[in-house]
Chains A and B, each alone.
Chain A
Amino acid sequence: MVSVRALMKAFGVASTGNRSICLHLLGFARQRVPTDPDSATVARVSLLQHAADRTRPRIHLNVIRVGFDGVPAANRDAASDMVDYGIYKLRNIFRTVGLAVGRVEHWTVTAAQANGRDDVGSEDEADILSDEWSVNNDGIDVFVVRTISAGFIGISPVPGSCDKDLSAPQPGGGAANPQDTGSRNDGLLGGELDRDPEGFARTFAHELGHFLRLEHNHGGEPECPATDAGKNNLMAQTRCSISARNSVLLTSTQGDTMRTHCSVKNP
């Protein structure tokens, strides 16, 4: 038997003071289990399952909302619910290949601070967003913006970099890393608000797959996997997938690959 506070501690979450299971342990910003887009289904979480996850390798996330203050007040709860659903879905997807999602923290960059980057219009703009903002911890920075005006719906380096310690100043003002040239690939664009929740969740997990070394399981457009199994794999692009909800499968080989990434922490 393990206590909730011990579980939080196992996942690197501060366990003292007033804590919320939904927020601090499970990472749901709305402090409740998110809404399943299928109205016939109720999303459920299992603390027992989460307790078992503490024995598994895990990643930590920083979910960075960009420009959400510009979302009309009436739509903000739905936007937050969608992000939480993405986290919920991600945990379920990655768990199938033995990879847990540990600490999830929520961060924000206001529209004014973003200076236009709450609407990403090109790959270079996605690059700049990740260059301009970084959370100084061991979590993967996942940006969620209001709009992506470019032709993609998410983007990530393959693989992502764990080297986020580029901001520490050195005596005399020298660079933290003499080899540092500032082309940080330490963040990814997990999606935009202008999507349906199921599509958003799939892209969120898909891009994290890329960050953790996974490539597409098919060639460039117009190619798609030849089999249904391929199309149902998480790493098929959304344009190739059969259904956003169910085309989220991972193979054990893909799980093995993801677990070799530097951001994966062993228990």
Chain B
Amino acid sequence: MAASTDVERNPELSDPELAAALKGTNERLGRMSALKELSQRRSSRRTALLSEVVTDPDQPAAVRAAAALDLGRERKPKHQDALVTALDAPEPSVIRRAAEALGRVGDEQALESLESVKPRGAPARQSVQFAKTLISYRHGLESNHLRKPPEKELLGSTGMPGAPLAVEKLAAADAARLLPEVERELPGTPVAPDPAFRFFCDESEFVLLFSREAVRRKTLAIGDKAAIPAVVVKRSSGLDRYYLYEYLLTHQRADGTLQLFGMRSVGLMIHAGELRLEGNVAHFELRALDRPGAPPVHVAGTYDHGEGTLAMSLATGLRTGASRRNPPGEPTKIDPPIG
């Protein structure tokens, strides 16, 4: 099923009026609303305005954080400079979003800056760590590799073959239509419109896209160094709107096996497994982690780069013994005293 959003716009405001609103001098339009408007429009002043907000210590933390997030939608040197400056902010929320943005667009210099950041609070620390991971995998570096989770954190398997999952290869033109929105979330991970594969899971539509680097040659370029060979995007509102759901990352262990990981966009590991290459054919197997946010499935499949085909099977993961940790948590009920 699709998701649909509510959106507020203020297109009647000029760029100078937006700039004034970002400074908090527009009585009608708050800074956050001004920022959301700026993030939706193409403006020659966008980089300058966002960079100004991100590096301004007098801006409210929430506004700086949102501006940082937006700077992570395009890969530009000036964006990186502003984001690295924002890593010095006293507020963990600003550091968190600056780190996330750098994870998407940053290079090895950004990685160096991230190595020395030790923010307060788990969300900021997790974002910094995942940003380092993303940069390392994007640039094929040997540092900040993910670790295979212990067996007790993974859902088991029935041992039976899973049910085949219907996979449809998308025409390149169809895949190309969904790319512009996706590329805003993957500015540092160019993806190819071909091959692309669509599948459905629990009434949600997903598309598997490969990185350009992995598939641009006749020989599948996976395995020789750490990489993000593919991503999974999920359909949202409208006909052609998709959002980043899962990064697929791979690196080679010391024993030669290729580890494969599925990470949600916020750095939550949801799948772990292996990849095995036979020439131009990649066999993969992924088990789900037993945690909220991880679809409890065991996925196996084969991608044949020469033939351009993908076959997948799906099985429900099982946890033996104690009850699953996968279920969501229950919020705390508010029951105030009467009167």
Interface positions of A (Cβ within 8 A of B): 18-20, 23, 29, 31, 62, 64-65, 105-110, 112-113, 115-116, 119, 121-128, 131-136, 146-147, 149-159, 161, 166-167, 169, 172-175, 178-185, 194, 199, 203, 206-207, 210, 215-216, 220-221, 237-239
Contact = CB atoms under 8 A, between A and B. Distances in A.
A182 B202 contact: yes
B66 A155 contact: no
Nearest to A192: B32
A116 B324 contact: no
Contacts of A116: 96, 122-123, 126-127, 266
Contact of B202 (A112, A183, A206): A183
Contacts of B202: 179-183
Contacts of A106: 333-334
A220 B238 contact: yes
A182 B297 contact: yes
A199 B6 CA distance: 11
Given A122-B243, A135-B330, A181 B237 contact: no
B318 A123 contact: no
B103 interface: no
Contacts of B238: 220
Contacts of A221: 7, 9
Contact of B4 (A109, A125, A146, A158): A158
Contacts, number: 211
B284 to A, nearest CB: 18
B338 A20 contact: yes
A192 to B, nearest CB: 9
Nearest to B291: A132
B136 to A, nearest CB: 21
B8 A159 contact: no
B53 to A, nearest CB: 12
B2 A158 contact: yes
A181 B338 contact: no
B336 interface: yes
Most buried by B among A110, A131, A159, A180: A131
A181 B295 contact: yes
B265 A194 contact: no
B296 interface: yes
13 contacts: A18-B338, A105-B333, A115-B122, A116-B123, A119-B65, A124-B245, A135-B331, A151-B40, A180-B202, A181-B297, A181-B314, A220-B239, A238-B7
Contact of A203 (B6, B36, B40, B234): B6
B328 A131 contact: yes
Contact of B8 (A108, A109, A133, A238): A238
Contacts of A166: 327
Q: Select the residue from B5, B238, B294, B330 with max chain A CB neighbours within 10 A.
A: B5
Given A19-B338, A182-B294, A173 B2 contact: no
A126 B236 CA distance: 12
Given A128-B268, A203-B6, 19 more contacts: A20-B338, A23-B338, A116-B122, A121-B97, A124-B234, A152-B5, A154-B5, A172-B318, A172-B320, A173-B322, A175-B316, A181-B201, A182-B288, A182-B297, A183-B201, A183-B203, A215-B4, A237-B7, A238-B6
Interface centre among A153, A179, A182 (most CB of B within 10 A): A182
Contact of A199 (B4, B8, B237, B296): B8
B1 A157 contact: yes
Interface in B3-57: 3-9, 30, 32, 36, 39-40
A81 to B, nearest CB: 14
Interface string B89-111: 00001001100100000000000
Given A116-B266, A169-B323, A31 B339 contact: yes
B328 A153 contact: no
